[in-house]
Chain A
């Protein structure tokens, strides 16, 4: 919580970011510092942390304690699940998905990255890039997180050396050419001391880029969304059946892509029926347009049959209904994924069943090597998978739209979410 009430209503926006780092790179300390320096920590929370720190005999207040959640994890001293943190500056509200770094928790990092606008990868300046940091970058790129920050931490332990920073910078930039990272910033920091986190470092005058906080506050994210291709998955049919709104019939949903306006000619999939948008309602108001991620209710001029799981798109720009799906899948449970396996699949507002036709390769997320010999995916492994679904999915490539390009796989016996998929193509 910032000390001021912030800008006028409607001016403050939102940034979701995911953090990743290996154990001891200083992730918890950094998050603690962001919360502390933005005054998002309350006295009683700080008190509790000071007491714990003191009881353990720490020399300093361990800011990382602020972000360690559940007791068993506290006892083991590591963060093992995705935890969400919140802080705000006068211009922006931030949601941090704090994810563990170790390879055995890949699924948690994938989870945290799925909703992130920005990924923050930490490295220890003394160690430079490790296999882990490369993997973190690979995962963020696979999840199409559009902005990446590499924070070179513990600069205080390398005498704030420009050389160390430049070397890591060059090495990472080189590696990043193999990935999809549209925007990269490499920032030298000390999470413990505070250099370049919120306040510009006096120890690194050679660095002319932004501080971490400045970058987080100003990075432009609104344009990351697809504002061209109209995609409106129908979620809920609103039919009041009251005297006052006797003939009202609207389609509730959250815009997944493009800009919808009254008067637009649209097509409803999978039926292929066309109509015109009569009006778009947001509660008791009519809006002139709807764009991602607005939740609205769309009314059509014609009495066409529309139900949950359908999609409204433009006549000349609609996804092809596809039952054969080619996707990258992150497997999240200990029983491996194998060909011929049947699962439930949830894609936008549509649920179907899916059969695993083939596992083409397993991706080594450390080296990007494609292993074509193994025909199964173990827990925390990622691979390219072919699926056949019982009903067509109204999908796009994940690289084009993170909402219409993603799905989850559910074990029908246990009900547990066991896989996350990013669509390459459908046919």
Chain B
């Protein structure tokens, strides 16, 4: 048994964990068919850990779903499989290529694959009849997220209406839905990037190896360092060289940049984050850099 808390204080990580567990249990109780959206990144791994704790020693009572864009890092897939096997949880994969083949999503050749995730995801939610989808969004990530509720209502078209959100008070969440609607649930809304890393260190849990410094063949594009891969042909003037890098987010291989870093352990990463000058999105997500309101637009459409 752990020791008695003499002063009945809970650390900030314990408080955040308790809040998130509460949210997982509410959703599992009140929604018919929840699903956890797993991107492979550190935030969704923290979600998995919290879900594991919320229901232990029972298994997580809902499946996890991944949108396969065909451009995921192999290291991310490996970590995903390890988690799925250890937890014995059901995995649903919704593939963009499959959605294109079935005519659900139109690839006009101009739209980034990242944007094709949105219709693929919405279709998968509908086809599977999911009524609640957990996402790893954090309010500190971006200004548009700062006002989003923990229970974020989506209409029949999967859209978010930021002007018309339900008030959310105390820890009393309102999960009412009409037919065809669903709820996005953000159990780690109140976590910051640093909290996530502190928690991963404390829990000592597996995350994809690309988060840690490693040697990689990279080239520079639009001020970002991109991984060499046949999926992302070089443009004229771009040259490949080997550098010591790590990734701060795990997304589409053709859009997710890495940063030069020698941070090889969680301690190093936390040290690096603590003095970081660029937010994780600004630094390495090509698709978020176009405009300040980019995120808000994509969220309205039903993006993660």
Contacts and interface: CB of A to CB of B under 8 A. Distances in A.
Given A5-B271, A83-B147, A295-B25, A403 B296 contact: no
Contacts of B252: none
B146 A83 contact: yes
Contact of A406 (B8, B53, B169, B282): B169
A193 interface: no
B205 to A, nearest CB: 12
B190 A84 contact: yes
A283 B205 CA distance: 14
Given A42-B278, A240-B57, A84 B167 contact: no
B192 A240 contact: no
A387 B177 CA distance: 25
A9 B13 contact: yes
B276 A295 contact: no
A178 B142 CA distance: 40
A281 B2 CA distance: 11
Contacts of A281: 56
A344 B174 CA distance: 10
Which of A44, A93, A244 has the most chain B CB atoms closer than 10 A to its own CB? A93
A287 interface: yes
B178 interface: yes
A111 B168 contact: yes
Interface residues of A, number: 88
Contact of A82 (B3, B54, B147, B275): B147
Interface residues of B, number: 74
Contact of A241 (B4, B12, B21, B58): B58
B274 interface: yes
Interface of B: 1-5, 7-19, 21-22, 25-26, 28-29, 52-59, 139-140, 143-144, 146-147, 162-163, 165-172, 174, 176-178, 189-190, 192-195, 198, 202, 270-271, 273-279, 282-283, 292-293, 296
Given A70-B296, A291-B8, A415-B176, 12 more contacts: A45-B279, A81-B147, A84-B189, A84-B190, A92-B12, A222-B9, A283-B56, A288-B1, A293-B10, A403-B171, A407-B172, A415-B177
21 contacts: A10-B13, A84-B147, A84-B190, A107-B167, A110-B167, A115-B169, A115-B171, A222-B8, A238-B57, A240-B57, A248-B57, A252-B54, A254-B22, A283-B53, A285-B1, A288-B1, A293-B19, A295-B54, A332-B167, A406-B172, A417-B174
